[in-house]
Structure 1
Amino acid sequence: MSKGNFIQVFEYQKIRYDANGDFKSHHFDSMVLYNEKNQSKHFTVIHKGIQFNSYVGVIQIGGLTIEILPKADNDISHSEEQKKKWQGVLLNMLRVCKHITVDNVSETNLSKRYNSILEVYFEMYLNEVESLVKRGLIKKYRRVQSNQLALRGKLLFSQNIQKNIVHKERFYCEHQIYDKEHLLHLILLRGLKVLDSLISSHLKDKLNRLLFEFYDYKEININATHFDKINLERKSLPYQKAVDIAKMLILNYSPNLNSGNDNMLTLLFDMNKLWEEYIYRILQKHKPEGYRVNFQNKTSFWEHKTIRPDILIASDTNEIFVIDTKWKIVDSRNPSDDDLKQMFTYNLHWEAEKSMLLYPKINQEDSKFGVYHFDGLEKKCKLGFVSIVDNGIRRSENIVLEIMEKLK
């Protein structure tokens, strides 16, 4: 399960702390506090341990990294080969869904470069900041308040009386400065400082070089409201990706949780939502000629309630198909009543003759299109299963061809 301070587990797997393992009681305490702050949605607390659920990704607590991988097969060995394969699947799905950008890496060899998906985000961020430094950090106007020996900008009367009642020769003013120490760079600096508390790898040298570029900037506590103030214009547009990654790192970072020495960073993704978005994006990219693909078509259903199928596919001949994705293992002969009722509603509302529940494939076979018995309406639904791995990561265009074939 572990290599040094790195533990890999699969979704729904359990880990427990003991004196000899890498997962210690203080790690457990930090995760319990984190879970309580997040409505216990990311995992379940068990006796002396944690059971993961449908959230995958990575948790770093102090020097320990826990990577949670998706899994859709019958192999219960939890071997290193299995972990490498499903880490590659997760990286590829994050790449396709644009949660990460990895240059010059194909779908089939994506898993060969990185020890942990967290390392991907760290490297992405450092590369983005390095690119901005090489391009030249931009200057912006910012407002400051300070004591001046000459009136500059706007005199702040009440503060001037408080601060300069003795020094009549000074003026407490608000004025503009045009320099590099503005909010964009303070956010980038905070992102680098978060990494400084977490990185102990080959990326440390690059991090130290970049921190030197910001050595004389003041540090402030960055929160969500600071990101709301960001308005990128033409000159600052190249900062978009770096700011996005900084936001993810900063807002998911919990320093000194439980008043100990454990800094905590969590990057977790709901596998159900990731599977849904992945299927949509590959359908959108590789859809056959004459088809349109729409995502999450929310519409009014009853009073203030809405319904939203995952994916709608429409042909130029006005055929409509509904796909609802489910990241769970089911028997092809035993769909849930709730799922079937949900799909019938979609069929009616969007006037679709056919709908499909799409699951990851282990060894199930697709069901036939079953007919709903309702007032003579010819509405059909089936269970479809698609594999995303073969000998390696399966090519997305082949998955799309298979999905379209299932709808016939």
Structure 2
Amino acid sequence: MSKENKHITVFEHESLRTDRGEQRLTNGQLEALQLFYGENGVPYYSLIHHGVRFNEYVGVIQVGKTVIEVLPKADKSNDADRWRNVLINMLHAVGIFDIHAPSNSNLRLRSNSILDLYFELFIKEVEYLLHRGLVKKYRKTEGNRTALKGSIQFAKHISQNLVHQERFYVRHTTYDKEHDIHAILYKALKLLSYINTNVQLNSRLGALLLDFPELYDIKITEALFDKIALDRKTEPYRNALEIAKLILLNYHPDVNRGTNNVLALMFDMNVLWEQFVYVSLRRHKANATSIAAQNTKNFWKPLSGYRSKMKPDIVLNKDTEDCVVLDTKWKNLNGYNPSPEDLRQMFVYMKYYGAKKVALVYPGSENRNQSGQYYDHSSQDSKHLSNEECSVISIGVEKDVKAWQKIIHENISNWCQLQEIV
């Protein structure tokens, strides 16, 4: 495989350098990543001497034609295929890879990376839209016409048509497929045809560009996507637009040489783990159980200014005597205690939510629950333990995502010992 088109796989918190290691960056690739990092930095990696060190973000960074895949890891296993499947299964479970097309729309590729899945998902969505027929919308247009249609713009008509009296400068309404939604999708298709490295997708991209109407170039900004309001006719475009937004807003062209463009599709594993545990509990919960994610309570208020708030990851049975607070952390403790900051945070949650139990939920190599007691803070003698506990729940990673979700539910339910959840 050539240096211009290759695949590099690393795990979170590992490094890539130009001067050492089995997998190396070229000087041009490192320069592109340094420029992408900029003065304000990015959360995906930090700069080190002659290289970069990845953080807790996972996914794909494409530099030119080189795909750098960053995988999660919660134990000592270095099996890239296993952890790639774990990541893809977690993304599927939380709804990242929801597809709009009918039942025959399963992703066909045995993909090398998350990037391939995103590209194929976008292609599948656009194929689906073309099959059902692209939506037409009304738009205002103006210009010279040989027939009188709409309203004459007299100032421009007189200035442009003094010697062309057979023409009319008019403003009128047109009903066609030339609108911003299609312009966004067309721009995303053109970008994919330029940066795609998977030969299995080339023919489908080529066919889409032939079938899709050629549209005007549109400037991509957050504000552009914010102003798009989908209605009953355009609702089927939602998935395709979300993927196009993700790809177009995270693409950073190399304005100097044009060869080391950067596309970053990365996910915070702490956020993904929190969402995965939440949807796993919600999937199996009983009707009598309430479950809330990111529940907010006021915590502190200054004499002037804004209040501070607390926001635990998951709250079960809020405002009841069986209230339970969970906080998820994507890290392997390897037999060590949780950090003092995490333990203090859980103590505050216990007090403010009146929780019966609190726990920190980690991934691990095996299923294990361990409880610990806080010291009695009401006594001057700090040697005595109180009845207030904070537990550490480690959940082993499973290949089968549905079995994994069931294990998460069973472990937490057994620890809770709440009849409503079991």
Q: TM-score, normalised by structure 1?
A: 0.88
Note if contact 2:312-2:325 (Cα within 8 Å) is conserved in structure 1. yes
The answer as to 2:62 corresponding to 1:60 is yes
The answer as to 2:354 corresponding to 1:351 is yes
Counterpart Cα distance in 1 of 2:62 and 2:252: 10
The answer as to 2:133 corresponding to 1:136 is yes
Change (3 A) 1:104 1:274: farther
Question: Which residues in structure 2 correspond to 1:248-263 (within 5 Å)?
Answer: 248-263=246-261
State which of 89, 94, 97 in structure 1 corresponds to 2:86.
89
- Give the aligned partner of residue 114 of structure 1: 111
Displacement of 1:318 in angstroms is 4.0
Structure 2: which amino acid aligns with 1:309?
P
Determine helix, strand or coil for the equivalent of 1:379: strand
Displacement of 1:176 in angstroms is 1.1
Determine helix, strand or coil for the equivalent of 1:113: coil
Note if contact 2:71-2:84 (Cα within 8 Å) is conserved in structure 1. yes
- Give the aligned partner of residue 203 of structure 1: 201
The answer as to 2:368 corresponding to 1:368 is no
Note if contact 1:143-1:177 (Cα within 8 Å) is conserved in structure 2. yes
Counterpart Cα distance in 1 of 2:129 and 2:235: 11
- Give the aligned partner of residue 382 of structure 2: none
Counterpart Cα distance in 2 of 1:399 and 1:372: 29
- Which stretch has the larger CA shift, 365-374 or 89-98? 365-374
Determine helix, strand or coil for the equivalent of 2:290: strand
Determine helix, strand or coil for the equivalent of 1:87: helix
State which of 44, 47, 51 in structure 2 corresponds to 1:45.
47
- Give the aligned partner of residue 10 of structure 1: 11
Question: What CA deviation, in whole Å up to 9, does each residue of 1:157-183 have, x standing for no partner?
Answer: 555565456656644333211011111
Question: Which residues in structure 2 correspond to 1:62-211 (within 5 Å)?
Answer: 62-75=64-77, 78=78, 82-101=79-98, 113-156=110-153, 159-160=156-157, 163-164=160-161, 167=164, 170-200=167-197, 201-211=199-209
Counterpart Cα distance in 2 of 1:330 and 1:369: 15
Determine helix, strand or coil for the equivalent of 2:149: coil
- Give the aligned partner of residue 310 of structure 1: 313
Note if contact 1:55-1:269 (Cα within 8 Å) is conserved in structure 2. yes
Change (3 A) 1:255 1:161: farther
Counterpart Cα distance in 2 of 1:132 and 1:363: 45
Displacement of 1:15 in angstroms is 0.9
Displacement of 1:90 in angstroms is 0.5
The answer as to 2:29 corresponding to 1:27 is yes
Change (3 A) 1:115 1:375: same
Note if contact 1:141-1:177 (Cα within 8 Å) is conserved in structure 2. yes
Q: Identity of aligned pairs, percent?
A: 38
Counterpart Cα distance in 2 of 1:320 and 1:385: 21
Displacement of 1:224 in angstroms is 2.1
Determine helix, strand or coil for the equivalent of 1:210: helix
- Which stretch has the larger CA shift, 5-14 or 277-286? 277-286
State which of 239, 243, 247 in structure 1 corresponds to 2:241.
243
Change (3 A) 1:333 1:254: closer
Structure 2: which amino acid aligns with 1:247?
K
Note if contact 1:370-1:380 (Cα within 8 Å) is conserved in structure 2. yes
Q: TM-score, normalised by structure 2?
A: 0.85
State which of 279, 299, 307 in structure 2 corresponds to 1:301.
299
Note if contact 2:291-2:315 (Cα within 8 Å) is conserved in structure 1. yes
The answer as to 2:407 corresponding to 1:401 is no
Question: What CA deviation, in whole Å up to 9, does each residue of 1:355-378 have, x standing for no partner?
Answer: 001111136853224245244885
Note if contact 1:356-1:407 (Cα within 8 Å) is conserved in structure 2. no
- Give the aligned partner of residue 267 of structure 2: 269
Counterpart Cα distance in 2 of 1:56 and 1:315: 32
- Which stretch has the larger CA shift, 222-231 or 187-196? 222-231
Determine helix, strand or coil for the equivalent of 1:366: strand
Determine helix, strand or coil for the equivalent of 1:291: coil
Counterpart Cα distance in 2 of 1:18 and 1:204: 34
Displacement of 1:40 in angstroms is 3.2
Determine helix, strand or coil for the equivalent of 2:10: strand
Change (3 A) 1:289 1:179: closer
Note if contact 2:82-2:399 (Cα within 8 Å) is conserved in structure 1. no
Counterpart Cα distance in 2 of 1:337 and 1:226: 44
Structure 2: which amino acid aligns with 1:398?
I
State which of 318, 323, 326 in structure 2 corresponds to 1:320.
323
Structure 1: which amino acid aligns with 2:68?
I
Counterpart Cα distance in 1 of 2:102 and 2:410: 25
Counterpart Cα distance in 2 of 1:226 and 1:184: 10
Question: What CA deviation, in whole Å up to 9, does each residue of 1:67-103 have, x standing for no partner?
Answer: 000001124xx3xxx1000001100111111111379
Change (3 A) 1:281 1:137: same
Change (3 A) 1:151 1:394: same
Structure 1: gaps spanning 5 or more residues: none
Structure 2: gaps spanning 5 or more residues: 302-306, 380-385, 418-422
Note if contact 1:280-1:311 (Cα within 8 Å) is conserved in structure 2. yes
Change (3 A) 1:52 1:333: closer
Determine helix, strand or coil for the equivalent of 1:367: strand
Change (3 A) 1:175 1:398: same
- Give the aligned partner of residue 389 of structure 2: 380
- Give the aligned partner of residue 383 of structure 2: none
- Which stretch has the larger CA shift, 333-342 or 384-393? 384-393
Alignment RMSD: 3.0
